[in-house]
């Protein structure tokens, strides 16, 4: 099981912090929030995030100053989130070391896509490849290739598929999957596993459940198969 990506959200609007935190936590990220730049810098030191999402207009220390303070670490990404839509602000933010600039109001799906893009560009040295038949998973870039086709997954879908692949051809009980992928402190139930297995099957074109098998009364098993083997059934 790989360590979850840590994301720090720095914004003086609690509704924005709560919205982003809830969505990213659901996607499997580890999230902390801060209400201004000073608190954000303390969180950077203590939480050691892989990515910082920072607003520009904040009291005490604004986003510009915080970006100056934290820029330069090749292992930490920065996304500026701001209501300011002027081209000059975008240019200044990127020149300060931010990886991307997203204007409020924003769609959560777009934020998620930009997070994925930033993280793919960061720290490829931590990468390793997990293979299961014609399925290939790069843990550094989080790229997933199935039968030569790239598949886009959410953070939670990726973690679930990686856990299945690391334990390829083993039958994994639902509760064990829930504990290992969602965490022992997760308050949901085993239905979460079923829902995300369904998502994976759709994205992997596993409509006949041949790649990810259901073992009745127990859980699931990822089979080490090639496209040809799947076609033969």
227 pLDDT above the threshold of 70: no
pLDDT confidence band for 1 (50 / 70 / 90): very low
The per-residue pLDDT for range 66-79, each reduced to its tens digit, is 988 888 777 788 99
Q: Which of 190, 186, 188, 197 is nearest to 163 (CA)?
A: 197
The per-residue pLDDT for range 89-126, each reduced to its tens digit, is 788 888 878 888 888 888 888 888 888 778 766 655 55
For the chain, domains (ranges, CATH) are 6-121 (3.40.50.2300), 127-232 (1.10.10.10)
188 pLDDT above the threshold of 60: yes
State how far the Cα of 101 lies from the Cα of 35, in Å rounded to an integer: 19
Token output for 180: 């290992």
Handedness of CA 73, 77, 81, 87 (dihedral sign): positive
First to last CA, the chain: 30
Q: Which of 172, 164, 232, 170 is nearest to 200 (CA)?
A: 164
Q: What is the pTM of this model?
A: 0.58
């Amino acid at each position: 099981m790989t360590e979850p990506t840590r994301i720090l959200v720095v914004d003086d609007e609690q509704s924005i912090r709560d919205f982003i935190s809830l969505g990213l936590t659901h996607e499997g990220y580890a999230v902390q929030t801060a209400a201004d730049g000073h608190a954000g810098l303390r969180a950077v030191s203590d939480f050691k995030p892989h990515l910082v999402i920072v607003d520009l207009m904040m009291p005490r220390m604004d986003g510009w100053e915080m970006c100056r303070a934290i820029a330069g670490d090749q292992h930490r990404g920065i996304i500026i989130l701001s209501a300011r839509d002027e081209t000059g602000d975008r240019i200044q933010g990127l020149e300060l070391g931010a990886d991307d600039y997203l204007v409020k109001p924003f769609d959560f799906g777009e934020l998620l896509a930009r997070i994925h893009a930033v993280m793919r560009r960061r720290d490829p040295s931590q990468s390793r490849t997990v293979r299961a038949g014609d399925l290939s998973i790069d843990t550094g870039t989080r790229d997933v290739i199935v039968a030569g086709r790239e598949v886009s997954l959410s953070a939670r879908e990726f973690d679930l598929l990686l856990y299945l692949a690391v334990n390829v051809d083993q039958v994994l009980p639902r509760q064990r999957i829930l504990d290992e992928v969602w965490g022992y402190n997760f308050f949901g139930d085993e239905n979460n596993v079923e829902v995300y297995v369904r998502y994976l099957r759709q994205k992997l074109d596993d409509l006949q459940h041949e790649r990810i098998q259901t073992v009745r009364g127990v859980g699931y098993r990822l089979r080490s198969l090639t496209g040809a083997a799947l076609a033969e059934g």
